[in-house]
Amino acid sequence: MNIQGKVVIVTGAASGIGQATAYLLAEKGAKVIVADLDANRAQEVSQAINAKGGDSQYFQIDVTSYEANQKLVDFSIEKYGHLDASFLCAGIMQLSRLSDIKVEEWDRQIDINLKGVMYGIAAAMPVFKEQKAGHLLTVSSIAGLHPFIDTGAYCASKWGVRVFMEVIRRESADEGTNIRTTTLYPGDIDTNLTAHTTDAAIKAGLEKVYEEVAIPADRVAQAIAFAIGAPADANVSEITIFPTKQVI
């Protein structure tokens, strides 16, 4: 795998899959920009990377702001001179019955999970087009492949990511820009994703399932590293990762 020296943005990097990926990529020689809304945690992750001999910067970002995403890309290029990949991992999950009409939660999930990804892509795209190279990576979900009850807005946000990324892959190939895309569809992963669900009964059931089958976030990080390290003429466009014990 060819990761050494690559400059990689990771959003949502203060915890979960983003954090695990930031650590692993840094171990493999990437220069990692640790980006998160939680500036203190982002700084801690970045400092931990540097303390182990890695090369990292941190950046506070609200991914729901297009301007903030642009500033993140500008910051990365200012620090390292170019950008090789952007892993857009920030996301939340707020499960509820659609009949409960939790519109604010619907909006929040679309804003972060879908529009946050779109804004991150829009910020990196001009750089990648000019370079004639670049890699966009996102986290969808198995909920981006299969609809489940209690997950309507979350599913909508993740299906949106899936479709948006596939169109980018096809358009990039058609335009000859050499921009690669990777969309991940994780199953139950041991992160703090369940913390945002406000329906107590749904949250309790979800946490019980996670306790029984969830796997560590570094399993997903390994898949991200594989995709980034693949030869430039190979586009690992989709990766689905289930815990071995998970049925669906």
Q: Is residue 157 part of a domain?
A: yes
∠ CA 217-6-125, rounded to 5°? 90
Answer whether residue 1 shows pLDDT above 70.
no
Q: For the chain, how many structural domains are there in total?
A: 1
- Distance CA(109)–CA(105), nearest Å, equals 6
Q: Is residue 246 part of a domain?
A: no
For 102-112, what is each residue's pLDDT tens digit? 999 999 999 99
Q: Is residue 59 part of a domain?
A: yes
Predicted confidence at residue 153, as pLDDT, reads 98
Residue 154 is among the residues annotated as catalytic for this protein? yes
Predicted confidence at residue 71, as pLDDT, reads 99
Comparing CA positions, the residue from 16, 5, 140 lying closest to residue 80 is 5
Predicted confidence at residue 42, as pLDDT, reads 99
For 159-193, what is each residue's pLDDT tens digit? 999 999 999 999 999 999 999 999 999 999 999 98
Contact of 181 with 172, CB cutoff 8 Å: yes
Q: Is residue 178 part of a domain?
A: yes
Q: Is residue 247 part of a domain?
A: no
Comparing CA positions, the residue from 24, 148, 149, 39 lying closest to residue 87 is 24
The parent domain of residue 43 ranges over: 7-241
For 220-230, what is each residue's pLDDT tens digit? 999 999 999 99
Contact of 174 with 129, CB cutoff 8 Å: no
Q: Is residue 174 part of a domain?
A: yes
Residue 65: which CATH number? 3.40.50.720
Predicted confidence at residue 248, as pLDDT, reads 81
Contact of 6 with 85, CB cutoff 8 Å: yes
- Provide the residue count of the chain: 248
Q: Which of 23, 58, 119, 154 is catalytic?
A: 154
Q: Is residue 2 part of a domain?
A: no
